[in-house]
Chains A and B, each alone.
Chain A
């Protein structure tokens, strides 16, 4: 017993109860905030200053920690700039703008707004820029590009961005004019199959937006049939027997098999389609 008042063991108990009560209040408060719609999800209302700073810092630290894991592709320096610029023009300028070039409507309505790359290209190491471009940023307007642009293309784009940070308006305009014919390379080779890669592939073609699948966290969607329990199913789209070959055929060109189907042709590469089919048909 202490010199006066509450015994020690009771003190511990009160602290414990107090902590639990606080957590309970916190949970209820969070619930009320969530369910009452008090937290604004609109892109027009600005964040609280502290929220913004925390998210910004979080991004920086997270990318810093993860960026070193990515292998850097070998790109011929002479090729890098024209290819990188082609990719930038095809995919980036719409949201990020360029020296002397305003971003499109797409890039103006976002929260957070897409960074002006002049600053990011100066501040961030190339490795980090490569990571963000390749892997995207969740819950923002920045998509992952690794399924749309080859690694060499992305690295070339980073090389171009680093140069772009030091271009005048005139420099950029000249470069733009001289490089009309270059094309941004799409990915050529898929990584070897893993379950994780297959899941990423399915999400990166937005399959999870129409189909529920086991092991994939996504919206509760009923647009297309659920693909849960897929190995047990006998037919694809009610038309073709459910075999690996048929599934790959279907994924790559649904309209060739069922002319009026609402499943779009997402131009899935043969290897990606193989990965998807293998994942779906795997009897886990």
Chain B
């Protein structure tokens, strides 16, 4: 009796582990997620956004960035992929002239690292 139960349970768990992962997982070339987290804190992006893992980031001016790697689109207009996200972070008004998100001065490296961190948010 017990052995049957155990076998069934074990097979169930084994099968559950075989669910395929998401087909597309965005990945930033040359981006450092930890540096990105620090950049988010120093640039105080939390003044507008809820960002998991960044202290003090709990504002609702911009959309929350939870689960960011799963988002289909950036700003509702652009497919969410690495190079586009970096371009967006560097200069939002250039891509969406009506947006409330300003162009905040930062290096391309900072933007790349920030994108890398955001793509860790599953």
Contact = CB atoms under 8 A, between A and B. Distances in A.
A34 B23 CA distance: 21
Nearest to B9: A28
A41 interface: no
B98 to A, nearest CB: 5
* B contact face: mostly helix, strand, loop, or mixed: loop
A238 B72 contact: no
Given A262-B73, A262-B76, A262-B77, A238 B12 contact: no
Interface residues on A, range: 20 to 34
Contact of B76 (A28, A29, A258): A258
B8 A28 contact: yes
A229 B73 CA distance: 20
B15 A35 contact: yes
Interface string A201-219: 0000000000000000000
A234 interface: yes
A258 B9 CA distance: 52
A200 B60 CA distance: 27
A49 interface: no
A261 B72 CA distance: 13
Interface of B: 1, 4-5, 8-9, 11-12, 15-16, 19, 60-64, 66-67, 70-73, 75-77, 96, 98-101
23 contacts: A21-B1, A25-B8, A28-B5, A32-B12, A32-B15, A35-B12, A35-B15, A36-B12, A222-B71, A223-B72, A225-B76, A226-B66, A229-B60, A234-B60, A235-B61, A235-B100, A237-B75, A238-B63, A239-B98, A239-B99, A239-B100, A261-B76, A262-B76
The 8 closest A-B pairs by CB, nearest first: A222-B70, A232-B60, A223-B72, A35-B15, A225-B63, A28-B8, A239-B98, A234-B61
